[in-house]
Homo-oligomer: A and B are copies of this chain.
Amino acid sequence: MNAPVSSPALTKNQSLVFDVLTRSDAPMSAYTILDKLRDHGFRAPLQVYRALDKLLEFGMVHRLESLNAFVACAHPESDCCAKGHGHGTVAFAICESCGHVFEFHDHAVDHRLGDWAKGKGFKPAKTTIEIRGICSSCAA
């Protein structure tokens, strides 16, 4: 199993941003994070974006492209092969009702897309998989 890219001690700003994201039960935009952190001295978007850049680099946070928002990494226990983000592509299911995000990894999908790329000579750098829909709780 590959290790994460790196995970040095977080700076103050990085910790603050990560804590806010971890406590949230839904994705947050950079500006929402900013508002949550004004009491802690945050004044400008760049303070958030710079922290997010690092957290993304460390694999501790994910960006949801279809929402322009961010979530703390939350692999389910079963995704042993994706621990630390050292391997494979992560997929997200996003409930449009409650906002909850399910993060998972699927080998078959991963390999299948990899095969397509190989067949075309396409070199993947980053793959985005996001399913928008309604979660079981909200559908009930």
Q: Which residues of B contact A106 (CB under 8 A)?
A: 112-113, 116
Are the C-beta atoms of B125 and A102 separated by less than 8 Å?
no
Copies, count: 2
Given contacts A106-B116, A117-B131, whether A93 and B65 have CB atoms under 8 Å apart is no
A137 and chain B: residue at smallest CB distance: B121
A127 and chain B: residue at smallest CB distance: B131
Whole-angstrom distance from the CB of A128 to the nearest CB of chain B?
Answer: 4
Whole-angstrom distance from the CB of A82 to the nearest CB of chain B?
Answer: 14
Find residues 21-73 in chain A having any chain B CB closer than 8 Å to their own CB: 65-66
Whole-angstrom distance from the CB of A113 to the nearest CB of chain B?
Answer: 6
Instruction: Contacts A109-B113, A117-B131, A117-B133 known; list 4 others, CB within 8 Å.
Output: A102-B120, A125-B134, A127-B131, A128-B130
